[in-house]
Structures are given as C-alpha cells and as structure tokens.
C-alpha cells in the first residue's frame, strides 16, 4: 500500500487541493448569492404566475414549493424563471405561426410566443428571463419534446453547451421524478447565472477518463522499472539434450475458386436544424425523449 501511495501521492495531493478549493468557492458563492437582491423593474408583465402545470404532472404542494424557490432565485439572478408543462399536440398551433417548422421545434414556437404574450422579463417586457416548456404529449413522430427558451441577458450568457447541460440534468430525473427535474432546472440556472461569472466551471466528461489513463500509465511505468528482472529460461531450457527439433510442414496449393456477387446498395440523407418565429430575439435549445 505504501508503494502504491508513493506512485500516486502527487495526484492525491492535487485532488485534495482541488476538493478544498471547491469547498471554499462554494462557500464564497453562497456568500455572494446572499448579497444579490435585484429589484424588479418590469411593470408590463401580465401575470405573477411562474409555474404553469398544464400537463398536470405535479402535485399542488410541489407547485407551491417550486413557486417559492423561483421567487427566491429570481431575486438572486435578476431574471424571470418560468416553467410550463403540457400534455397536448402543438403541431397545429406551431404550424399556424410557422408553416414549415419541424416537429422538434413546435415547443420552441410555443415557448417564444408564451414569453412575448405575457411580456416576461425581470428588467423590462421581453427582457431578462428563461422559460422551460416540457410537453409530455408524444407527437406524430413518436417523440416527446422539451425546449429551453432564453431571452435578454440569459440569451447572451447561455452557450449551446450550457443549454445542453441544463437540459441533460432535467432529463436525468424527469421521467421518474418531475418535481426533482424542474427543481434542478431552477437551481442549475441560478448556479449558471452566478457561478460561471464568479466561480463555477464546466468539467468535460472526458476529464475523468484522461485522469484514469494518466494514472494507469504512471503505474505501469513505475511498476515496470521496479519489477524488471533477468531471464531465467530460454527456448531450449526444457528440451531434452538442449537441442531444439522442428517438424517440417508443407502447404501445397491445389486449386482456386472465385465467386462474384453483385451487392445492392441504398443511399440516404440527413437534415439540419431550422429556426425562426417570434417578434423578439430569443435563444435556447431543445431535447427529446
């Protein structure tokens, strides 16, 4: 065990230092978050509601908990945070607004229209905010679609990677525990808005694999040097008379047979992403399940 630790002691020291740094940063993050209390300046918003559970996937108690959490996070981030669940096809609705819109963006059209109609935005109408639409209805193509709509400062803040990150975390829980999934959405957004600018960073999924590979290489190199020895046997050590004997084998070519067949092939193609809709500027992205 001591030898094993000796090989990896610097890695353990580095990991311990990183863990300590993360603890310190989270404490600092918590302290900074308590200092921020944004004042809402948008007087044009048509509703104070933030949780629209049209799909009826949450209990009344869960809805109330999410409303209280959203009210707290809105003050800390200075952004409107809206959640919508649905249980209906958006095909006719979306294609009435954008005739050529694809299945995977029906929810985008709905999200952008909903945001603009209610004039959400913490600072002004159609200003800073985020809206998640999770439609539990399985469209004609057999998929269930979700869209994260970003506006104003949130649109500038969120890259494609950040959008995918938050949606991946929602999808991790949504099927078995919708409340936990939507709570994750709210808290992840709060951490993203305060964390990336202050302390938070994204760790790519390949990092653990790289660390494991480096550890394995170091172990093999160190172990090979310490265990290297001399050869104690040769090719004839256990051969009688210490003289090798070889049987002579011969391959003889007899005949050749060639068969030809025509293979039919089919060609296929793919598609790209399309966008549009809405009178204002919005960002975001979607997932399906």
What pLDDT, in 10s, does the model give residues 235-273?
656 566 666 665 655 555 555 544 444 434 343 333 333
Concatenate the DSSP letters of all residues of 13-36 into one string: HHHHHHHHHHHHHHHHHHHHHHH-
**In the chain, what are the domains?**
2-203+284-288 (3.10.310.50)
Residue 186: both structure tokens together: 């709210």
Match 């869209």 to its residue by tokens: 147
Q: What angle do CA 182, 186, 192 make, to 5 degrees?
A: 135
Supply the pLDDT for residue 17: 73
CB atoms inside a 10 Å sphere around CB 137: 14
- What would you report as the CA-atom Rg of the chain, rounded to the nearest whole angstrom? 30
Supply the pLDDT for residue 138: 96
Q: Taking the chain, what is the end-to-end CA distance rounded to the nearest angstrom?
A: 46
Predicted TM-score (pTM) of this structure:
0.63
Supply the pLDDT for residue 263: 38
Supply the pLDDT for residue 182: 98
Supply the pLDDT for residue 228: 54
Residues 6 or more apart whose Cβ sits within 8 Å of residue 280:
112, 115, 116, 126, 151
Each residue's pLDDT tens digit, 223-239: 665 555 555 666 656 56
**CB contact at 8 A, 167 and 134:** no
Can you list the pairs that 140-145 forms with residues at least 24 positions away whose Cβ atoms lie under 8 Å? 140/89, 140/91, 140/103, 141/103, 143/103, 143/104, 143/288, 143/289, 144/288, 144/289, 145/103, 145/104, 145/106, 145/107, 145/286, 145/287, 145/288
DSSP letter at 279 equals: S
pLDDT less than 50: residues of the chain: 196-202, 257-279
DSSP letter at 91 equals: H
d(CA 230, CA 226): 13
Supply the pLDDT for residue 273: 34
CB atoms inside a 10 Å sphere around CB 102: 16
**CB contact at 8 A, 284 and 158:** yes
Supply the pLDDT for residue 267: 36
């Amino acid at each position: 065990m001591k030898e094993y630790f000796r090989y990896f002691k610097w890695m353990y020291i580095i990991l311990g230092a990183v863990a300590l740094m993360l603890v310190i940063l989270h404490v600092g993050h918590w302290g900074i978050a308590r200092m921020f209390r944004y004042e809402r300046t948008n007087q044009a918003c048509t509703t104070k509601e933030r949780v629209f559970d049209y799909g009826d996937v949450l209990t009344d108690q869960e809805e109330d908990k999410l409303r209280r959490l959203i009210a707290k996070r809105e003050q800390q981030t200075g952004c409107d945070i809206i959640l919508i669940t649905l249980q209906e096809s958006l095909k006719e609705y979306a294609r009435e607004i954008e005739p050529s819109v694809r299945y995977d963006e029906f929810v985008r059209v709905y999200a952008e229209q909903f945001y603009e109609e209610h004039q959400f935005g913490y600072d002004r109408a159609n200003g800073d905010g985020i809206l998640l639409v999770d439609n539990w209805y399985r469209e004609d193509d057999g998929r269930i679609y979700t869209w994260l709509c970003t506006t104003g400062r949130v649109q500038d803040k969120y890259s494609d990677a950040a959008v995918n990150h938050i949606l991946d975390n929602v999808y991790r829980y949504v099927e078995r525990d919708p409340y936990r999934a939507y709570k994750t959405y709210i808290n992840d957004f709060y951490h993203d808005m305060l964390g990336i600018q202050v302390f938070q960073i994204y760790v790519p999924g390949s990092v653990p694999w790289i660390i494991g590979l480096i550890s394995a290489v170091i172990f093999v190199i160190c172990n090979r040097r310490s265990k290297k020895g001399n050869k104690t046997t040769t090719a004839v050590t256990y051969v009688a008379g210490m003289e090798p004997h070889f049987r002579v084998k011969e391959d003889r070519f007899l005949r050749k047979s060639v068969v030809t067949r025509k293979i039919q092939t089919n060609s296929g193609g793919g598609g790209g992403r399309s966008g549009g809709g809405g009178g204002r500027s919005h960002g975001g992205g979607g997932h399906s399940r």
